[in-house]
Amino acid sequence: MTPLSETDPHDPGVSLARAALAGDTLAMQDLLAHLAPYVARVCGPIALDGGPDAAQEALVAVFRSLRTLRDPAALYGWTRAIAVREAVRVARRDARARPAELADVPAPDDPELAADVRDVLTRLSPEHRAVLVLRDLEGLDERAASRLLDIPAGTVKSRLHRARESFRKAWSA
Partner 1 sequence: MSGENGWPTAELDDVRRLRVMAEAIPGARVSERVLPHSLDEVWAVMGDLEDGFGRFQPDMRDVRVLRAEHGRVVALARSRFGMRARLEGTLRPGWCWLQSRFLIIGMAAAPEPGGGTRVAVTGGVRVPSRAAIVPLGARRELDRALTRLETMF
Residues forming contacts to partner 1 in the complex (CB under 8 A) are: 1, 20, 23-26, 28-30, 32-33, 36, 39-41, 43-45, 47-48, 51-52, 54-56, 59-60, 63-64, 66, 112-118, 121, 137
Q: How far is the CB of 43 from partner 1 (least distance, A)?
A: 5
Residue 96, classified by CB atoms within 10 Å of its CB into exposed (0-12), middle (13-18) or buried (19+), is: exposed
**Closest CB to partner 1 among residues 44, 126:** 44
Residue 135 sits at the vertex; the CA angle it makes with 165 and 72, to the nearest 5 degrees, is: 160
Q: How many angstroms separate the CA atoms of 120 and 60, rounded?
A: 29
Q: Which is nearer to partner 1, 48 or 75 (CB)?
A: 48
Give the nearest distance from C-beta 154 to partner 1 in angstroms: 26
Query: Please, what is the minimum distance in Å from the beta carbon of residue 49 to partner 1?
Result: 9
Query: Do residues 131 and 163 touch, judged by C-beta distance below 8 A?
Result: yes
The burial class, CB within 10 Å (0-12 / 13-18 / 19+), for 99 is exposed
Give φ, ψ of 24 to 5 degrees: -85, 110
Closest to partner 1 by CB, 60 vs 102, is: 60
Q: Which lies closer to partner 1 via its Cβ, residue 59 or residue 130?
A: 59
- Shortest Å, Cβ 70 to partner 1: 18
